[in-house]
Amino acid sequence: MVSFDLRRLRLLRELEERRTLGAVATALGYSPSAVSQQLAVLEREVGARLLEKAGRGVRLTDAGRLLARHARILLSAAEAAAADLATSTGGVRGAVRASGMQSATRRVLVPAVARMVHEHPGVRVEVSELELEQALPELRLGALDVVISDEYDGHPRPRPAGLGYALLHEEPLALALPAAHPLAAPGGPVAVGALREEAWACSDEGTGHHQMVIGTCRSLGGYEPDVRHRSNDADVLLELVRSTGAVALLPALTLPAADPALAIRRVAEAEVRRRLVVVTRDGPATPALTAFLAAVTDQARTLTAEPR
């Protein structure tokens, strides 16, 4: 009978998801040679060839893909067993690894961690700031336990199987213009269509925010925006508006309460909204994760939804 080592099965599962030995090594803090050696041991243990050469790298064989599918089930069962054991022993202890984009990290995750420090000191919470494109694979592989995602009107996010989604917060977006901009003077809504000739600032290409800005300018204004500046840091985007005359379309949570150098205006053509969604893996949650999700939900209820 074959005896499976869960640590080696996790390496195989990671390779299935991440595609290269180097990516697995970077994610887990190993050297590529160590990953390769452990997978070679796994091949000897199961008596089958799991990897084959593919150019300069490797790929899973049919047997490797078959075992990787079973590895997902075994690793999920081990996680469920750990959750059940933690529940049965009583008390709230353990670790929770959470991630979100900048505004969600600042306004939701950090206050939730502060609450956990006081109410559940036996829980170790680790927070990282990641865009959804980076965070979801880490969640699926078990490197993260909670991800706060965002979705914009007309731009749904992918929802891979095996993950659970719950609405956390909804808010409008607003245009950020330099205070001296001619369209800012009246103080009312500003048409996206009137900003055709402006330089735009938005998040990096491939992110949900970038796609939303492009899509909004196309649908409401009928043009391709001149995206001249890119940053995933909302503070950097706002500084670009203040200092360079660029314009931006940003969620309410990222906007300052008051800034004489900025004019925050509603979109004239239609309301554009963003939703924050909390994402977890399917299956039973540990008491530590349950307590943290409660803190996250409570913090989200305190957020104001309207733009300045």
For 29-58, the pLDDT digits (tens) are: 677 887 888 888 888 888 889 888 888 888
Rounded CA gap, 233 and 77, in Å? 38
* pLDDT surpassing 70 at residue 134: yes
130-149-101-290 Cα dihedral, nearest 10 degrees: -80
Rounded CA gap, 227 and 245, in Å? 13
Query: Model-level pTM?
Result: 0.73
Region(s) of the chain under CATH 1.10.10.10:
6-87
Q: Quickly tell me which residue has 């095996």 as its tokens.
A: 162
Region(s) of the chain under CATH 3.40.190.290:
95-308
pLDDT for the residue 35? 82
Which has the minimum average pLDDT: 118-127, 255-264, 268-277, 278-287? 278-287
The model's confidence at residue 123, banded by pLDDT at 50, 70 and 90, is very high
pLDDT for the residue 67? 86
What percentage of residues in the chain have a pLDDT greater than 70? 93
* pLDDT surpassing 60 at residue 64: yes
pLDDT for the residue 224? 97
289: buried, middle or exposed (CB in 10 Å: 19+, 13-18, 0-12)?
buried
The model's confidence at residue 137, banded by pLDDT at 50, 70 and 90, is confident
The model's confidence at residue 90, banded by pLDDT at 50, 70 and 90, is low
* pLDDT surpassing 80 at residue 117: yes
Bigger pLDDT: 221 or 30?
221
For 275-286, the pLDDT digits (tens) are: 999 999 888 888
pLDDT for the residue 88? 63
pLDDT for the residue 307? 42
* Partners of 175 in the β-ladder: 249, 265
The model's confidence at residue 85, banded by pLDDT at 50, 70 and 90, is low
CA distances 93 to 117, 125, 264, 297, Å, are 12, 10, 44, 19
Rounded CA gap, 274 and 252, in Å? 9
Rounded CA gap, 136 and 176, in Å? 29
Which has the minimum average pLDDT: 81-90, 212-221, 239-248? 81-90
Tokens of 21: 């030995």
Q: What is the mean pLDDT of residues 245-271?
A: 94
Nearest to 166 by CA among 89, 2, 280, 88: 280
Bigger pLDDT: 156 or 99?
99
pLDDT for the residue 121? 93
pLDDT for the residue 33? 82
* pLDDT surpassing 80 at residue 86: no
The model's confidence at residue 308, banded by pLDDT at 50, 70 and 90, is very low
* pLDDT surpassing 80 at residue 78: no
Q: Which CATH class is domain 6-87?
A: mainly alpha
Tokens of 211: 């796609």
The 3-state secondary structure of the chain reads CCCCCHHHHHHHHHHHHHCCHHHHHHHHCCCHHHHHHHHHHHHHHHCCCCEEEECCEEEECHHHHHHHHHHHHHHHHHHHHHHHHHHHCCCCCEEEEEEECHHHHHHHHHHHHHHHHHHCCCEEEEEEECCHHHHHHHHHHCCCCEEEEEEECCECCCCCCCEEEEEEEEEEEEEEEECCCHHHCCCCCECHHHHCCCEEEECCCCCHHHHHHHHHHHHHHCCCCEEEEECCCHHHHHHHHHHHCCEEEEEHHHCCCCCCCEEEECECCCCCEEEEEEEEECCCCCHHHHHHHHHHHHHHHCCCCCCC
Nearest to 77 by CA among 171, 9, 133, 152: 9
Contact yes or no for 109/296 (Cβ under 8 A): yes
pLDDT for the residue 119? 94
pLDDT for the residue 305? 43
Contact yes or no for 51/58 (Cβ under 8 A): yes
Architecture of the domain made up of 95-308: 3-Layer(aba) Sandwich (3.40)
Give the mean pLDDT of the chain: 88
Nearest to 255 by CA among 265, 245, 246, 244: 265
Pairing type for strands 199-202 and 248-251 reads unpaired
For 189-212, the pLDDT digits (tens) are: 999 999 999 999 999 998 889 999
